[in-house]
A and B are shown apart, each in its own frame.
Chain A
Amino acid sequence: MEILLAIVVGCLVATGLYMMMRRSMLKLAIGLSLLSHGANLLIFTAGGLTRGQPPLIPQGETLPPAPYADPLPQALILTAIVISFGLLAFTIALIYRACHVTGTDDLDQLTTTET
Chain B
Amino acid sequence: MPLILPILIPFLTAALALLGWRSLRLQRWLGVVGAFALLAAGIGLLISVQNEGIRTAQIGNWPAPYGITLVADHFAALLVLLVGIVGSAIAVYSLADIDEPQQSFAYYPLLHVLLMGVTAAFLAGDIFNLYVWFEVLLIASFVLLALGGERPQIEGAIKYVTLNLISSFLFLTAVGILYGAVGTLNMADVARKLQTLDNPDIVTTLAVMFLVAFGIKAAIFPLYFWLPASYHTPPAAVSAVFAALLTKVGIYSLIRMFTLVFDHAEAPPTFPLILVLAGLTMLTGVLGAIVQDDFRRVLSFNAICGVGYMMLGLGMHTPLALTGSIFYMTHSAVVTAVLFLIAGNAHLVRGTFRLDRLGGLAREAPWLAVAFAIAGLSLAGIPPLSGFVAKLILVRAGLEAGEHLAVAIAIAAGLLTLYSIARVWDAAFWKEPPAHEVPIERIGGEHEPGPLLPREKFLLGAPVATLVVLVVIIGLAAGPIFSLADAAANELMNPAGYIEAVLGGAS
Interface, chain A (partner B; CB < 8 A): 17, 20, 25, 28, 32, 35-36, 38-39, 42-43, 45-48, 72-73, 76, 79-80, 83, 86-87, 90-91, 94-95, 97-98, 101-102, 107, 110-114
Contacts and interface: CB of A to CB of B under 8 A. Distances in A.
Given A39-B173, A83-B135, A87-B135, A112 B179 contact: no
A65 B262 CA distance: 37
Give the dominant DSSP class at B's interface: helix
Which of A28, A38, A46 lies at the interface centre, i.e. has the most chain B CB atoms within 10 A of its CB?
Answer: A46
B159 interface: yes
B177 A25 contact: no
Interface in B153-186: 154-159, 161-162, 165-166, 168-169, 172-173, 175-177, 179-181, 185
B142 interface: yes
Contacts of B228: 114
B180 A91 contact: no
11 contacts: A28-B162, A35-B169, A46-B180, A48-B180, A83-B132, A86-B139, A90-B143, A94-B158, A98-B158, A107-B158, A110-B159
Contacts of A36: 169
A101 B179 contact: no
Contacts of B456: none
B150 interface: yes
A47 B179 contact: yes
Nearest to A103: B151
Given A28-B162, A111-B155, A43 B149 contact: no
A113 B176 contact: no
Q: How large is the interface on B (under 10, 10 to 19, 20 to 34, 35 or more residues)?
A: 35 or more
Contacts of B152: 112-113
A110 B155 contact: yes
Contacts of A38: 173
Contacts of A83: 132, 135
Of listed A32, A47, A72, A83, residue having the most chain B CB within 10 A:
A83
A74 to B, nearest CB: 12
Given A47-B180, A83-B132, A97 B173 contact: no
A101 B176 contact: no
B233 interface: yes
Nearest to A107: B158
A48 B138 CA distance: 29
A90 B132 CA distance: 17
B229 interface: yes
B128 interface: yes
Given A113-B229, A114-B229, A72 B155 contact: no
